[in-house]
Structure 1
Amino acid sequence: MIKIRLDRVNASNRTHLYYLADQGVSQKERYSGLAHVTEHACLIDGGRFGFDHFRWGCTCLSHMILYYETKHDMQWINKIKQQIGDSTIISPQSVEMAKAEVMEESRLLKSKTRLNEKLVRFVTEGRITDFAMGEPSEIRKIRYQDVREYWEYLNGCHHFYEVPFRSRQDVESAFQHILQSHPLSGKDFICDFVRNKSCDDYLILSQAETCTLKIYFQIPPLTGKADYVKKAFLECYLQRLFNLNLQINVSFEDKFFSRSEKYVLMTVPGVLKKKVEFILSEMRVCVAERSCFADMQSQYSEFMDNIIQAIAQENTLDSINKYQNWLIYRKPYFTQGDIVPVRSLSRDIFVVIKYILNEGVKVVVTSSGS
């Protein structure tokens, strides 16, 4: 998900310029933090930064986002587009300034970054060891030519998407054109899958009496939109099941660390530390004994109505996120026409429930409220 101020992205009285750089799966940075420095270099604009010139960026393992926005200064937006196109957005001066910014960011966020990296290594069982923030010792080595070569790699491999917009309709039109120009095959729905151990693993990050559980389920291979509907429905169904039978309020979200490391994160707040394993056992028993197909069917119709309503109420940010997730992670997006084929629920939903019950999970015990 993109974390930009919603009032800016959804404002139709402003001009927005959004770039998505797909960093690929095989390109390894010459220096740790090279992509991060490249992002910062693209956001430095010779001191021209006022109330009407907003810039924002984000670097992840799989992609980079650049975002520019103004209300009145179209000349500035056109200048950015030109500089992005001819690569003059990056200069020796901007690279040095970017290195200093990233080094300072690394210093300020060192504790939080190390904690997040520890969590990712734990959840992925060490399959992810490189991180976007970068190591200060490596960042110091980065030179202008390194950044230029990395920038040319992103542009030369057709991984770079430009979306200028003022409204959600502009976003839809731009992304449809992108998808027509760069069609993705159906096989891209299937993600790599590394089965975790059959037992649960725990990472204790808090010794407080009351804590929050973050439970990670690795997403198995999903082969189409119907599978994603089942997944979304089960998340809603389990929320209700746990609330009614255990008086536990849980939330679900997708956590994609990379193309192949995809998880569902179930968060359970307000758990007594001494009951962590007991709560997890109770939740499994609840799923095994309380899951009822007739009950599921009665809820499914309402769930689908809510999906249709959500599609109809999409805003600009929703549209950007759904296309971004499709291009980067191959998570399918839905239109009204996609709903008709999945209006009924079949009993093979219990295959997914069996997976939930039998698969070992990664449990991170954090401080309450985190």
Structure 2
Amino acid sequence: MIFEGVENEKVEHIYCILRKNVENEGAYSGLSHVMEHACLMPYYKEKPLKYFWGRGYTCLDHIILYFISSTESGLETIFEQIITGRIICEKNVIEAKEQVYNECLRMKEITDVRENLVRFISDNRITNFAMGKQETIVKIQQKHVQECLNSIIENHDLYAIRFRHKNEIQMKCRSILSEYCNEKTKKNIYTEQSKKEDEILLVECKDKQEKIEIYFRIPISENKEEYIAKLWFEYSLYLVCKEELNMSVSISDKFYTYTERYIVLRIYGLEHKKIKSILCVIRQHMMYKIKNFETSDCKKYLHRCLYSEKHIQDYINEFQNYILYGIPIISNQDICLMEYISKEREILENILFNTLKIVVFKNNCR
């Protein structure tokens, strides 16, 4: 997302996070998506001009707006139009609706696959989607978009970082987070987990490389110890698959919403008929590691992650994950004080043995 010329001292950046749950859009599905396009309208209109650049996207629970300008006044003008709501004029909304409507038409096939996948993974807990529906997009009016943006601003759900270079963004992220920490009440919430047979969804794809994605649902937690334990789980899962089982894998987090959080294990080159037997082996290896947890190994790995060079996007991701999901930012001191207790062991066992959603991407070109 971050522009490649981010280290250029001659350009200024504004990165905006707007918290907005599309589940609340009701009869106006696609409202957040239209608002995103309306806010980016100056970029669409002035695209030929080299001094201004903008980009954005809409997810299930937030909107991102990102602007770059070689002139300080350019960014000030854009941001002022957003926070005052003046950017949501009738003309911009009409053009934004047309763009979103055409995007829905153009990406219908891909969107249908993605939405079916999310419904499967979430057991239909997620029913509304950010793209929107053509039949509801046409009903959206300027007043609906204006009310939506006003609500975000009034509820203090707009966070903006303005910066020129890496050191500045790190400093500003910490400053905003320190203010936010004082306002936010920390809580630990554990979503009810299911314990039934793992489920498989077969998806046809055009990718040359077939893959299997395994979704481990993780509980909602803003507790540092539990988050460190989750990091250890991911690291151990990678080692089991890569080094002990000699598989080609990758691992990442996937947060659809505040309550829908997953660790995603991607396995490449594995025949999907073998996946359940492989999962049994993975669970056996992981259970052994959980029971024989060594904090020293975990600390070495986490220390290495902390001291690795961070890019602008890393700081943005940390900031964004804290704002949206309460994901704690881990310090060296947190790792040094880490101890493994029974509560974390129980959480990890639940992640491992709760129902897994398995998505098999099969190449339909064969």
Give the structure-1-normalised TM-score: 0.88
How far off its partner does 1:25 sit?
8.4
1:214 counterpart residue number: 213
RMSD: 2.7
Matched-pair contact (CA < 8 Å) for 1:198–1:358: no
C-alpha offsets along residues 180-199 of structure 1, whole Å, 9 cap, x if unaligned? 443344533x2451312331
CA–CA separation in structure 2 for the residues paired with 1:292 and 1:134: 46
2:36 counterpart residue number: 39
Query: 1:154-165 alignment to 2 at 5 Å?
Result: 154-165=152-163
Instruction: Report which stretch shifted further, 359-368 or 119-128.
Output: 359-368
How far off its partner does 1:26 sit?
7.5
1:86 counterpart residue number: 84
Determine if the alignment matches structure 1 residue 329 to structure 2 residue 325. yes
How far off its partner does 1:353 sit?
4.6
How far off its partner does 1:358 sit?
2.3
Matched-pair contact (CA < 8 Å) for 1:251–1:266: yes
Matched-pair contact (CA < 8 Å) for 2:2–2:312: no
1:364 counterpart residue number: 359
Matched-pair contact (CA < 8 Å) for 2:173–2:315: no
2:196 counterpart residue number: 198
Matched-pair contact (CA < 8 Å) for 1:211–1:273: no
CA–CA separation in structure 2 for the residues paired with 1:119 and 1:98: 27
CA 1:134 to 1:14, structure 2 compared with 1: closer, same or farther past 3 Å?
same
2:263 counterpart residue number: 264
Query: The residue matched to 2:231 in structure 1 has which SS?
Result: helix
CA–CA separation in structure 1 for the residues paired with 2:358 and 2:77: 48
Matched-pair contact (CA < 8 Å) for 2:218–2:351: no
Matched-pair contact (CA < 8 Å) for 2:173–2:319: yes
Count of matched residue pairs: 360
Matched-pair contact (CA < 8 Å) for 1:9–1:317: no
2:246 counterpart residue number: 247
CA–CA separation in structure 2 for the residues paired with 1:12 and 1:226: 38
2:167 counterpart residue number: 169
Q: 1:304 aligns with which of 297, 302, 305?
A: 302
Query: The residue matched to 2:286 in structure 1 has which SS?
Result: helix
2:95 counterpart residue number: 97
Gaps of 5+ in 2: none
Instruction: Report which stretch shifted further, 23-32 or 60-69.
Output: 23-32
Query: The residue matched to 1:51 in structure 2 has which SS?
Result: coil
CA–CA separation in structure 2 for the residues paired with 1:26 and 1:134: 11
Matched-pair contact (CA < 8 Å) for 1:212–1:368: no
How far off its partner does 1:289 sit?
5.2
Give the structure-2-normalised TM-score: 0.89
2:51 counterpart residue number: 52
Matched-pair contact (CA < 8 Å) for 1:248–1:268: yes
How far off its partner does 1:11 sit?
4.2
C-alpha offsets along residues 17-68 of structure 1, whole Å, 9 cap, x if unaligned? 1111111588435500001000000001172222331100111111111110
How far off its partner does 1:210 sit?
8.1
CA–CA separation in structure 1 for the residues paired with 2:178 and 2:344: 33
Instruction: Report which stretch shifted further, 117-126 or 44-53.
Output: 44-53
Instruction: Report which stretch shifted further, 46-55 or 195-204.
Output: 46-55
CA–CA separation in structure 2 for the residues paired with 1:316 and 1:156: 29
Q: 1:354 aligns with which of 334, 339, 349?
A: 349
Instruction: Report which stretch shifted further, 8-17 or 201-210.
Output: 201-210
1:314 counterpart residue number: 310
CA 1:286 to 1:113, structure 2 compared with 1: closer, same or farther past 3 Å?
same
Query: The residue matched to 1:360 in structure 2 has which SS?
Result: coil
CA 1:184 to 1:281, structure 2 compared with 1: closer, same or farther past 3 Å?
farther
Gaps of 5+ in 1: none
Identity of aligned residues (%): 28
CA–CA separation in structure 2 for the residues paired with 1:328 and 1:223: 11
How far off its partner does 1:158 sit?
1.2
Instruction: Give the residue type in structure 2 aligned to 1:328.
Output: L
2:14 counterpart residue number: 17
Matched-pair contact (CA < 8 Å) for 2:226–2:344: no
Query: The residue matched to 1:18 in structure 2 has which SS?
Result: strand
Matched-pair contact (CA < 8 Å) for 1:239–1:249: no
C-alpha offsets along residues 228-279 of structure 1, whole Å, 9 cap, x if unaligned? 1111122112211222332113221111111111111111111113322222
Instruction: Give the residue type in structure 2 aligned to 1:32.
Output: S
CA–CA separation in structure 2 for the residues paired with 1:326 and 1:17: 18
C-alpha offsets along residues 274-296 of structure 1, whole Å, 9 cap, x if unaligned? 322222223223334576727x4
How far off its partner does 1:352 sit?
4.3
CA 1:61 to 1:348, structure 2 compared with 1: closer, same or farther past 3 Å?
closer
